[in-house]
């Protein structure tokens, strides 16, 4: 049973949702059936935006400053190739601070999709840290909203992010969380992460093929795939 974000959001104005296009159907490899007693197979992967899919530029509303993280395009394409739904869940407190508008957030979203391909939904929290909303990570509202839009159960969803709030939001929603640390990830967040991976491609491979590459803080699966060169002009805390 899907849980809607309205039941878990204390404000009338919840997250912003951008659902630009349904993902095209394609021939995909069917998921492996789950062993008895194991978690159900994944239906969706939700990615944090800043520091996970793209370089973290504080309060960025300029599409020209968008730069993919290493391995982001290749990792996202692996998920698409398996036929899973894709989404982005992102705190953007720059809106509440008067530094961003909905139009600027949408412009950055469009640029990300030019570089990484389409996502089934973007769920964005425009509130500040002290506004008491139920969507700002580590609250689960963005995960619930994205899952509801995609029509998937949070229990069959994974959230990939670079800080502890991403994993806390996943845990609160009943989803699976995977940490991909960056230099700004705090050591205590790394230590507390139930699941972690050294890079996006490793995280995705382990999520999709857990028997071949079990999740955990140790080990790697080789270097991340090389990114295609970004097209267009060169490139805050959420």
- Distance, CA of 178 to CA of 158 (rounded, Å): 7
Structure tokens, 225: 């795939």
CA distances from 175 to 1, 36, 114 (A): 13, 19, 28
Q: Note if 48 is an active site residue.
A: yes
Active-site residue, selected from the candidate residues 13, 50, 130, 199:
50
Helix pair angle (102-116, 72-81), 10° resolution: 80
Determine whether 215 is exposed, middle or buried from the number of CB atoms within 10 Å of its CB (0-12, 13-18, 19+): middle
Q: Does residue 50 carry a catalytic annotation?
A: yes
How many other CB atoms are there within 10 angstroms of residue 24's CB atom?
A: 7
Could you say which of 48, 162, 195, 199 is catalytic? 48
Catalytic residue positions, numbered: 48, 50
């Amino acid at each position: 049973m899907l849980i809607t974000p309205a039941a878990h959001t204390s404000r009338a104005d919840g997250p912003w949702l951008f659902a630009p296009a349904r993902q095209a159907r394609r021939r995909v490899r069917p998921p492996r059936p789950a062993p008895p007693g194991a978690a159900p197979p994944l239906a969706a992967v939700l990615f944090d935006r800043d520091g996970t899919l793209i370089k973290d530029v504080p309060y960025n509303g300029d599409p020209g400053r968008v730069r993919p993280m290493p391995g982001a395009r290749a990792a996202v394409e692996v998920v698409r190739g398996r036929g899973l739904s894709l989404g982005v869940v992102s705190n953007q407190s720059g809106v509440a601070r008067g530094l961003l508008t909905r139009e600027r957030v949408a412009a950055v979203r469009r640029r990300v999709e030019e570089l990484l391909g389409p996502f089934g939904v973007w769920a964005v929290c425009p509130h500040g840290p002290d506004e008491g909303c139920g969507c700002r990570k580590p609250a689960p509202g963005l995960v619930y909203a994205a899952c509801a839009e995609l029509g998937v159960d949070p229990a069959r969803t994974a959230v990939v992010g670079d800080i502890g709030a991403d994993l806390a939001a996943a845990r609160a929603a009943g989803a699976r969380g995977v940490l991909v640390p960056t230099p700004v990830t705090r050591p205590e967040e790394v230590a507390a992460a139930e699941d972690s991976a050294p890079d996006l491609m490793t995280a995705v491979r382990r999520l999709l093929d857990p028997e071949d590459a079990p999740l955990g803080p140790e080990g790697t699966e080789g270097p991340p795939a090389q990114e295609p060169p970004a097209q267009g002009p060169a490139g805050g805390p959420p």
